[in-house]
Structure 1
Amino acid sequence: MFGDMMGMMNKIKETQAKVEEAKKQLDHVSLEEKSNDDLLKVNITANREIKSIEISDQLLEDKEQLEDYLILTLNKAIKRATETQEAELGAIAKEGMPNMPF
């Protein structure tokens, strides 16, 4: 029984190390999200760090429209980055602890 506990603890430590390494790697996973009409583009990492925003000159003419575009597109980008991160980290956790419910 003690051996099983030690083995499980070692497996948890290994999985934690893999998760930390994956988090670092997700800094380099770049995702692009854009508005339906391509007037606004957002580049974000899988760790939800915004790297760039491209705004069409057309949007600069209407402050309210630009604000709406920013909110919608940034929220889509953040959601996509979160889903990507959760999928990657979830796969590592499931691999490291296959008998645990996730």
Structure 2
Amino acid sequence: MFGKIGDMMGKLQEMKQRAEEIKSKLDEVVISTEGAGGDIKIEITGNREIKNIKISDTLQHGDKLELQKQLLVTINKAITEASKVNESEMKKAATGLLPGM
């Protein structure tokens, strides 16, 4: 009985360590996303941290509400793309560690 618990604890520790490694790796992955026809550019890490936002001059002098709308759409698009990368890497890490994943 204690052997199985020890094995489980070892697997949990291995999973924790692997998750930390993946998190560090995802900090280095930068995803570039464009919106508003390329007038808004966002860079976001695989851990969903926004690193950079660029807004073209044409949008900066236009309608403020339109800029806000386009910015929200582009940020949400970037977060969705980063989430896909994050989930994919976490699934890869779990393969072999957890039966049935």
Taking structure 2 as the reference length, the TM-score comes to 0.89
Partner of 1:26: 26
**Could you list the runs of 5+ residues in structure 2 that have no partner in the other structure?**
none
**Matching residue's letter, 1:34:** E
Name the counterpart of 1:8. 8
SS in 2 for 1:95: coil
Q: Hey, what does 1:43 align to over in structure 2? A: 43
1 CA distance for matches of 2:96 and 2:40?
38
CA gap of 1:36–1:65, structure 2 versus 1, over 3 A, is closer
CA contact (8 A) 2:44 2:51 kept: yes
Contact 2:36 2:70 in 1 (8 A): no
Correspondence list, 1:72-91, <5 A:
72-91=73-92
- TM-score using structure 1 length: 0.88
1:20 is aligned with what amino acid? E
- How far residue 94 of structure 1 moved from its aligned partner, in angstroms, is 2.5
Report the Cα distance in structure 1 between the residues aligned to 2:49 and 2:59, rounded to whole angstroms. 23
Q: CA deviation at 1:36?
A: 5.2
| Cα RMSD (Å) | 1.5
Q: Identity over aligned residues, as a percent? A: 39
CA drift at 1:63: 0.7
User: Secondary structure of 2:28's match?
Assistant: coil
Q: Which runs of 5+ in 1 are unaligned?
A: none
* Equivalent residues, number: 100
8 Å Cα contact 2:40-2:54 kept in structure 1: yes
Any idea what SS the aligned residue of 1:89 has?
Answer: helix
